[in-house]
Amino acid sequence: MLFRSYKTIESKKNIDVLKKTFLGQHLKVHNLDFEISEKEDKIKIIPHAENEDHIFTLPITSLRLISKSDGTTIKMQCKPRRIDIGGPYLLMIFITFAIIAGILLILKGEGNYDFTAYLLMGIAGITYVFLFIRMQQGYFDYIRKIKKWVVDHA
């Protein structure tokens, strides 16, 4: 929900040609292998991270192919693996509660807890910046490279 990404791609190729192009291939991003297979009438791009130790949040990409008269529309959805998303969600919950607590301390503390409130909101801000940078370097970078690969092959 929070870390999902969507893209629509138009292709001049028909569905059968696209399936032959995509299925069975392997995509390499940052020395990590992604397998492309068909599951439940969708094409899935799934990471193989069983042997990796330093992997944090990885995307699972679904491609839904919709036939048109002049080609195919590809609806692409990227979402994090269930096993990976717990950490970022916990950090977002911490950030939200820290900001709410800081605002309540400022409003209800009558000036007695301003330093604590600003400190709490500063820690939440620094945590958010750290999370944002890490997600851009990892998860969203994988998504950008997968999108580029799909556009290049479509």
Q: Is the pLDDT of residue 56 over 80?
A: no
* Predicted confidence (pLDDT) per residue in 101-131, tens digit: 999 999 998 888 899 999 999 999 999 999 9
pLDDT of residue 78: 92
Cβ 150 vs Cβ 9: under 8 Å: yes
Looking at residue 1, the DSSP 8-state letter turns out to be: -
Which pairs count as long-range contacts for 80-84, CB under 8 Å and 24+ apart, including other chains?
A: 80/3, 80/139, 81/47, 81/57, 84/55, 84/56, 84/57, 84/58
Per-residue confidence (pLDDT) for residue 81, from 0 to 100: 86
Burial class (CB in 10 A: 0-12, 13-18, 19+), 5: middle
Does pLDDT of 52 surpass 70?
A: no
Query: What confidence score (pLDDT) does residue 85 get?
Result: 84
Task: Say how far apart CA 88 and CA 1 lie, in whole Å.
Answer: 12
- Say what the pTM is: 0.78
The residue ranges of DSSP E strands in 40-151, in sequence order, are: 42-48, 59-68, 71-80
Tokens in use for 32?
A: 């990590």
40 or 119: which leads in pLDDT: 119
Mean pLDDT of 57-78: 88
**pLDDT single digits (tens) 130-154:** 999 988 888 888 899 989 988 888 7
Return d(Cα 76, Cα 62) in angstroms, integer: 6
DSSP annotation of 3 reads S
**pLDDT value, residue 71:** 84
pLDDT digits (tens, 9 = 90+) for 15-39: 888 888 888 788 888 778 888 888 8
pLDDT of residue 1: 61
DSSP 110: T
